[in-house]
Amino acid sequence: MNNRTDTSSNGEPPHGVSRREFVGQGAMLGGCALLLNRVACMQGDLARDAAGAFSDAEAARLAESGETIYSVCLQCHTACPIKARVYDGILGKIEGSAYSPQNMLVHLDYETPLADAARIDAKLCPKGQSGIQSLYDPYRIRSVLKRAGRRGENRWASIPFDQAIREIARGGRLFSGVAGEEDREVPGLADHYVLSDPAVAGELASDASAVASGELTIEEFKTRHADHLDLLIDPDHPDLGPKNNRFVFLAGRIEHGRKEFSQRWLRDGFGSRNWFEHTSICEQSHHIAYQQMTHQWNGSGWGGGRTHMKPDALNAEFVLYIGTSPFEANFGPPIMAEKITEGIATGRLKIAVADPRLSKTASKAWKWLPVKPGTDGALALGLTRWIIENDRFDRPFLEAANKAAASAAGEVSWTDASWLVEIADDGPAGYLRADAAGVGSAEQFVAVAGGRPVAVDPADGEDAVTGDLRYEGQVGGRRVKTAFQLLWEECSSRTLAQWSDICGIPVADIEEVASELTAHGKKASVELYRGPVQHTNGYATAQALIGLNMLIGNIDWTGGLMKGGSHWHEMGDRRPGPFNMGELHPGKNRNFGVKLNREGSRYDASTVFDGYPAQRPWYPFTSNVYQEVLPSAAAGYPYQVGAVFMHKATPGMSVPTANSQIAAMADLDAVPLLLSCDIVIGESSMYADYIFPDLSVWERWATPHITPDCPTVVSKVRQPIVAPIPEIVTVFGERMPISMEAMMLALAEELGLPGYGPGGFGEGGDFTRPEDYHLRLVANLAAGDSEGDEVPAADADEMELFVRSRRHLPPEVFDAARWEAAVGSDWWPHVVHLLNRGGRYENFDGAYRGDKVAHQHKSMIRFYVETVALARDSMTGERFAGIGKHLPILDSIGREVPDAEYPLITVTYKEIFGGHSRTPGNYWITQIAPENAVWMNRATAGEMGLQAGQEVRVSSASNPDGRWELGNGQTRDVVGRLKLVQGIRPDVVAVSWHYGHWAYGAEDVEIDGDVVPGDPRRGTGLCTNSVLRADPHLGDVCLTDPIGGSSSFYDTRVKVTATAG
């Protein structure tokens, strides 16, 4: 098997290679047709003996055959720890890791010998197992591709890596051979890398901020910084930051390890603020609601917080799942499913599922609540009303106004239920401060106890404050209400019958679920994820739903709501050494300014402010507002961009209202230079100017974090399992496969970015290879978060096994001496111990402590968020609400979106065997489901005269033709087969989201003049993202939650019509 020798390793350009050699390594393998003997690989020369037992010695031999590497999957973001079996250098089987609590219930103790763990194959979902087919995808690219036709035309030339790096850095007439671009000068990255002096950047940033806040006039600023005004995007608006911000990094599926790697490069090296990932197309408003509600008071402001909590389903007696299916998606099935099935089968657990579609989880539920999309907030408030009216909330928990009171009540967390909120003329405003009430300082809050206002210091562990829940009146001359009173007023603003009418769930069911939710003490919870929040009202809805958990006081209790065990910290900032990555950065650049999509900035606190509505929305409370990046570039608001680097990103397919994302990518003026790095030519990378091959997840490094569904501490490490498929190149004099990391290192070398090359880590050593970075993170994990927290050192046998199990890896990937040098000889045996297990895992016995989870939130969680309440929507100029609410579906300027001529609401969902945009080449899965379909209620189809299996088109008011507009005159119809079921609301149609490809190997592409034919199996079915509703005011971006930033996936009204065919 010589698959790792033909890697253009001599630096020769791969010109002239044939299409088959170019596109996959398989061409080399096809002629070999080696018979790989799996039994021999597993057992060595162990003779098969049908009558014989498998002895301990044989088990040990199996373990030590040197063919097993523990790593981490990424077929979805759950990122399960895996045990990879390698046969003659080929990845042949992927199992779940038995060391991992995501894959075993109960997982093996961390010190279980490798030989004992070897024969236990833990569970893994079908996507994870199909990873072999993503790794060995016949359509993988090996060399850099440069556009040889118009954007999106899919005509490519393979070019040498060094040439691509040089062109991107320097710019020029890069596409003079393309019709219409003969004279187009493309600015290179060097043209945007203008501010590189961190001292200058610091002064500019500080004074730009002073201009925005009105402390400094623009004239004073210009005088003070006359020598540096040319570094800024706009000297009249210095708060937009330096020209460096014109370079934008847009990541799709990126995870820890690579996040930090790329942020060091873009933010701290290049000096651009515009680093984005994709969370707003997933479940961002859910994260933002948790984060805002769990922000802690630091004495002068609110900060910190947790973005995600989960039910302790292992001990729960009741869980209400809202718009999420842990058997199919969420975060994620391998860890979530068995706790639920076991609980249901043994009678311990009862679940209810609110979802317009009968998901697989709902099919096992005690009660399915087919809620109308976008009305989960109404359901939440109906439940809230019943719980408060019937006095079924946990009063002692809610009355505790600070830490001391919580302790006295046997709790470790507490709420703001009894805190007073000032009621301004235009509604609830900030919390009342103790100085205004005459009972304390401006840094304290106020509750009413026995009719008297008392100061509240939330973190006070000595003096308990227990407050009245239902107070309203005047304190210190100000009109006030408690947070709990505001919640009551919100939920009692409508009758139960009215809430029922809105959400489509009968009153009796709301009552029954509310009763069940409050019948199990602390051992019940409400879980929400993507479904209820990917709406324009997502944040407010999430706040109302999370509030249900607070009403039953389940935070930190076994069977209740938990923060999860979390992880050790790979950036090395928790203990002295080994590697504090933030500090090991000589010459570290400083980035500042308003981000391209205005996330994290307030419109009314910027120099761009010009009344309402703003030209485009600003998003002060969220981040990673993915859908707004390319449309902002196209609009040039708040500034023009120079280059966009898409890493594993496919905005052209995965974002609602996708056609405008495609149009922006195809627009040379909007994005003068478009780079991509991915393993296959995908639906978005096909519009790029350059595509760099990436390493797949089975060939590379990362340190993914753990879902909070896990009660114990976990730090996973992804590491190379097999030889790389991309070609080998030389960067900083080092040979390595092309990857995101190699690309960033090479551009750092070409541009002279700080913190790279020899001495790149300062005293911490050289940074010339990807693993120079990643191994230091691994060493930090091995060292733990405090002295004495280290993993054991590998013994001699384990050291030997480590090297032997990597004997199939080429020196460009694995060099034991080089790896050891990266972390130092003292840490090396600890690193090896960790790598031999693919991470580190707390034992199961660390999960629980008495009647509480061991790893606790143990701080505040709040019904009312004053910072949100005090902020104004950049488009309407109205204040946001501080309390959980049900809001109608609204566009960016606050208008309802009736679309009355479109009778149905469309939703998407995910089958467990499909991963959004990246599994069309997983052929094993296509045997299970060759295509998806449009799911419709049988009765609805009857009324509309539609038949099962009929071909139908899905269209909406913003895409009345039901088409993908792919540019260059190409379109694709949003057309699929109709599937009729009983398990869906009659007014809803559902289409799973992982089919409908027009790239990723589905259609022909041309490389070096040869046509690489597409595979029709990869293009089946339909994807409805292009049909999802454009914001009527903006037109070029989907409906969006103005607070949480979530893109709307479930608010689009559609028509489903039979096609002529």
Taking CB under 8 A as the criterion, which residues in 752-811 touch other proteins? none
Q: Is 634 in the site for other proteins (CB under 8 A)?
A: no
Nearer to other proteins, 641 or 686 (CB): 686
Choosing from 17, 79, 125, 813, the residue that interacts with other proteins (CB under 8 A) is 125
Report the distance separating Cα 331 and Cα 333, nearest Å: 7
Residue 854 tokens, joined: 């061991």
Nearer to other proteins, 167 or 516 (CB): 516
Residues numbered 835-864 forming contacts with other proteins, rule: CB under 8 A: 843-851, 854
Nearer to other proteins, 267 or 357 (CB): 357
User: How near is the Cβ of 3 to other proteins at its closest, in Å?
Assistant: 7
With CA atoms as reference, report the closest residue to 1007 among 203, 159, 223, 417. 159
Nearer to other proteins, 108 or 634 (CB): 108
Residues numbered 256-275 forming contacts with other proteins, rule: CB under 8 A: none
Choosing from 6, 121, 511, 667, the residue that interacts with other proteins (CB under 8 A) is 121
With CA atoms as reference, report the closest residue to 412 among 563, 556, 566. 556
With H, G, I as helix, E, B as strand and everything else as coil, classify residue 357: strand
User: How near is the Cβ of 694 to other proteins at its closest, in Å?
Assistant: 18
Where does 890-985 show beta strands of DSSP type E? 904-909, 933-937, 951-956, 963-967, 970-973, 975-981
Q: Is 1004 in the site for other proteins (CB under 8 A)?
A: no
Residues numbered 509-568 forming contacts with other proteins, rule: CB under 8 A: 509, 512, 523, 558-559
Report the distance separating Cα 760 and Cα 734, nearest Å: 14
Q: Is 289 in the site for other proteins (CB under 8 A)?
A: no
The two beta strands, 318-322 and 310-311, are unpaired
Nearer to other proteins, 43 or 407 (CB): 43
Nearer to other proteins, 211 or 713 (CB): 713
Choosing from 59, 200, 412, 424, the residue that interacts with other proteins (CB under 8 A) is 59
Q: Is 815 in the site for other proteins (CB under 8 A)?
A: no
Binding region for other proteins (CB under 8 A) out of 126-134, 416-424, 878-886, 896-904: 126-134
With H, G, I as helix, E, B as strand and everything else as coil, classify residue 660: helix
Report the distance separating Cα 450 and Cα 191, nearest Å: 67
Listed in sequence order, the residues at least 6 apart from 838 whose beta carbon sits closer than 8 Å to its beta carbon are 69, 70, 71, 72, 81, 82, 83, 97, 99, 100, 716, 717, 718, 719
Q: Which amino acid is at 666?
A: A
Q: Is 334 in the site for other proteins (CB under 8 A)?
A: yes
Nearer to other proteins, 604 or 851 (CB): 851
Under 8 Å between Cβ of 769 and 729: no
With CA atoms as reference, report the closest residue to 701 among 790, 772, 794, 785. 772
User: How near is the Cβ of 293 to other proteins at its closest, in Å?
Assistant: 26
Q: Is 951 in the site for other proteins (CB under 8 A)?
A: no
Q: Is 931 in the site for other proteins (CB under 8 A)?
A: no
Q: Is 658 in the site for other proteins (CB under 8 A)?
A: no
Residues numbered 1015-1034 forming contacts with other proteins, rule: CB under 8 A: 1015, 1017
With H, G, I as helix, E, B as strand and everything else as coil, classify residue 67: coil
Provide long-range contacts, Cβ within 8 A and 24+ apart, for 1007-1010: 1007/19, 1007/22, 1007/23, 1007/145, 1007/156, 1007/157, 1007/158, 1008/15, 1008/16, 1008/17, 1008/19, 1008/22, 1008/156, 1008/157, 1008/158, 1010/18, 1010/19
Binding region for other proteins (CB under 8 A) out of 5-13, 797-805, 978-986, 1028-1036: 978-986
Choosing from 797, 924, 943, 960, the residue that interacts with other proteins (CB under 8 A) is 924
Q: Is 970 in the site for other proteins (CB under 8 A)?
A: no
Binding region for other proteins (CB under 8 A) out of 68-76, 387-395, 764-772, 917-925: 917-925
Lay out the site mask for other proteins across 15-54 (x = CB under 8 A, - = otherwise): ----xx--xxxxx-xx-xxxxxxxxx-xx--x-xxxxxxx
Q: Is 693 in the site for other proteins (CB under 8 A)?
A: no
User: How near is the Cβ of 986 to other proteins at its closest, in Å?
Assistant: 7
User: How near is the Cβ of 400 to other proteins at its closest, in Å?
Assistant: 23
Nearer to other proteins, 39 or 816 (CB): 39
Residue 908 tokens, joined: 């998407």
Binding region for other proteins (CB under 8 A) out of 603-611, 629-637, 792-800, 920-928: 920-928
Q: Is 324 in the site for other proteins (CB under 8 A)?
A: no
Binding region for other proteins (CB under 8 A) out of 149-157, 167-175, 863-871, 1007-1015: 1007-1015
Listed in sequence order, the residues at least 6 apart from 960 whose beta carbon sits closer than 8 Å to its beta carbon are none
User: How near is the Cβ of 441 to other proteins at its closest, in Å?
Assistant: 41
- Site residue total, other proteins (CB under 8 A): 129
Under 8 Å between Cβ of 83 and 97: yes
DSSP states of 661-693: HHHHHH-TTT-SEEEEEESB--TTGGG-SEEEE
Residue 866 tokens, joined: 């004053």
Residues numbered 77-96 forming contacts with other proteins, rule: CB under 8 A: 87, 90-96
In 584-739, alpha helices (H):
629-635, 651-654, 658-666
Report the distance separating Cα 1060 and Cα 952, nearest Å: 9
User: How near is the Cβ of 357 to other proteins at its closest, in Å?
Assistant: 10
Report the distance separating Cα 633 and Cα 626, nearest Å: 12
With CA atoms as reference, report the closest residue to 290 among 276, 279, 275, 300. 279
Under 8 Å between Cβ of 435 and 445: no
Nearer to other proteins, 922 or 1046 (CB): 922
Residues numbered 368-387 forming contacts with other proteins, rule: CB under 8 A: 368, 370
Choosing from 170, 222, 259, 364, the residue that interacts with other proteins (CB under 8 A) is 364
User: How near is the Cβ of 840 to other proteins at its closest, in Å?
Assistant: 18
Under 8 Å between Cβ of 639 and 245: yes
**Cα diameter, the chain:** 91
Residue 874 tokens, joined: 């950049």
Q: Is 337 in the site for other proteins (CB under 8 A)?
A: yes
User: How near is the Cβ of 386 to other proteins at its closest, in Å?
Assistant: 16
Q: Is 129 in the site for other proteins (CB under 8 A)?
A: yes
Under 8 Å between Cβ of 477 and 416: no
Choosing from 799, 923, 951, 971, the residue that interacts with other proteins (CB under 8 A) is 923
Choosing from 8, 361, 549, 659, the residue that interacts with other proteins (CB under 8 A) is 361
Q: Is 124 in the site for other proteins (CB under 8 A)?
A: yes
User: How near is the Cβ of 109 to other proteins at its closest, in Å?
Assistant: 9
Report the distance separating Cα 312 and Cα 656, nearest Å: 33
Q: Is 102 in the site for other proteins (CB under 8 A)?
A: no
Binding region for other proteins (CB under 8 A) out of 193-201, 364-372, 375-383, 791-799: 364-372
User: How near is the Cβ of 728 to other proteins at its closest, in Å?
Assistant: 19
Cα 651 to chain centroid distance, Å, stands at: 14
Report the distance separating Cα 276 and Cα 252, nearest Å: 9
Choosing from 4, 77, 107, 535, the residue that interacts with other proteins (CB under 8 A) is 107
Residues numbered 570-629 forming contacts with other proteins, rule: CB under 8 A: none
Q: Is 977 in the site for other proteins (CB under 8 A)?
A: no
Q: At what angle do helices 828-835 and 796-804 cross, to 10 degrees?
A: 60
Q: Is 333 in the site for other proteins (CB under 8 A)?
A: yes
Residue 421 Rama label (left phi>0; alpha psi -120 to 50; beta): beta
Nearer to other proteins, 240 or 1012 (CB): 1012
User: How near is the Cβ of 130 to other proteins at its closest, in Å?
Assistant: 6
Under 8 Å between Cβ of 665 and 686: no
